[in-house]
Amino acid sequence: MLACAQLVAAHPAFEDVERHSTQLVAERPDDPAAYLTLAQTRRIARDWDGALVALEHAAAHGAQPVEVTALRAAVFLDAGWSNMALLEADRALLLDAGQPQVQILRGRASLALGRPQEAARAFALAIEGTRNPTPDQVLVLADALVAAGDRPGAVAALDHGLTRIGLVPSLALPALDLELEIGRADAALRRIDALLATNARNELWLARRGEVLDRLGRNDEARVARAGALAAIQSRPDGRRGSRSASLERELRSALAPEDHPPPDAKERP
């Protein structure tokens, strides 16, 4: 139930979903799954009281206690009642500790309550209990560790995620940023080079390589990287560049301009 596809209450078709959920209960008044579906629908519609009532009916008609408790935790969390959400998440985990989605709920509630270390532990348990973790799950763990003041731990968490998921930019680039924040520019360079090994013409990564090389004082190499990024942009047809490429192109030209276009009186200076 917690892992179901996200629905958006503002979507025009959502009214049909609500009608279907209500009709389902009318047609199957003794089916706990119908009440769970109704509770989830009301949760998405931000009808917190209605969702909780539907959950009570689900429990009364024999729904699994862990399902009811976990969904109640999600309702409380969405409603902003983080203490209640944490309490319900803990109850669900007592019923069944092997619930990664409930650990995610517990982590989110802990973050909302200003307990990043506790949140990080919950997110880590969720990832370990998931066969195929997502980059978003790894990122929320890294963010919790950063909030707890443990940037090296956040880098380690991202590396663990990269080991399990593969070399995905959504994890590699935040790891690179953290390496720079904690003064490990050499490690950051290795990360950007690993990405470029998969796509040597990526102008964004080439530009980032220039930034990292500047941090290391290797300014000539940084100019080469930026020139490569500029050439990669210019090699694209105009129709495929987009506003982001245009903005990056301006930045690269500005960074390269001082040496490419010296002031007119440069030769007259002593």
Phi first, then psi, for residue 166 (nearest 5°) are 115, 175
User: Judging by beta carbons within 10 Å of its beta carbon (0-12, 13-18, 19+), is residue 174 exposed, middle or buried?
Assistant: buried
d(CA 246, CA 260): 20
What is the H or E stretch that residue 227 is in? helix 219-234
* Crossing angle for the helix pair 169-181 and 185-196, to the nearest 10 degrees: 160
CB 259 within 8 A of CB 223: yes
pLDDT band at 242 (very low <50, low <70, confident <90, very high): low
Nearest by Cα to 112 from 138, 149, 150, 73:
73
pLDDT at 237: 79
Query: Which percentage of the chain shows pLDDT scores above 70?
Result: 86
Between residues 128 and 264, which one has the greater pLDDT?
128
59's tokens: 């429990």
CA distance 151 to 145: 7
Question: What is the rounded radius of gyration, in angstroms, for the C-alpha atoms of the chain?
Answer: 26
Helices 151-165 and 169-181, packing angle to 10 deg: 160
pLDDT tens, position by position, 177-218? 999 999 999 999 999 999 999 999 999 999 999 999 999 999
Contact 125, 90 (CB under 8 A): no
Ramachandran bin of 217, using left for φ above 0, alpha for ψ from -120 to 50, beta for the remaining angles = left
Per the CB < 8 A criterion, the answer to whether 189 and 213 are in contact is yes
Task: Supply the mean pLDDT for the chain.
Answer: 89
Q: What's the whole-model pTM score?
A: 0.82
- Report the range of poorest mean pLDDT among 28-32, 61-65, 71-75, 86-90: 28-32
Q: Give every CB contact of residue 30 below 8 A, 6+ residues apart in sequence.
A: 61
d(CA 168, CA 44): 31
Q: Judge whether residue 50 has pLDDT over 70.
A: yes
Q: Write the DSSP symbol of residue 266.
A: G
**Residue 270 above 60 pLDDT?**
no
Q: What angle do CA 119, 58, 67 make, to 5 degrees?
A: 30
Query: Does residue 255 register a pLDDT over 60?
Result: yes
Of the candidates 114, 71, 109, which has an alpha carbon nearest to the alpha carbon of residue 123?
Answer: 109
Residues 6+ apart with CB under 8 A from 227: 256
What are 127's two structure tokens?
């990832």
Placement of tokens 């001082």 in the chain: 258
Cα-Cα-Cα-Cα torsion 44, 46, 50, 53, nearest 10 degrees, comes to 70
**56-81 pLDDT, tens digit each:** 999 999 999 999 999 999 999 999 99
| Range among 93-102, 140-149, 239-248, 251-260 with highest mean pLDDT value | 140-149
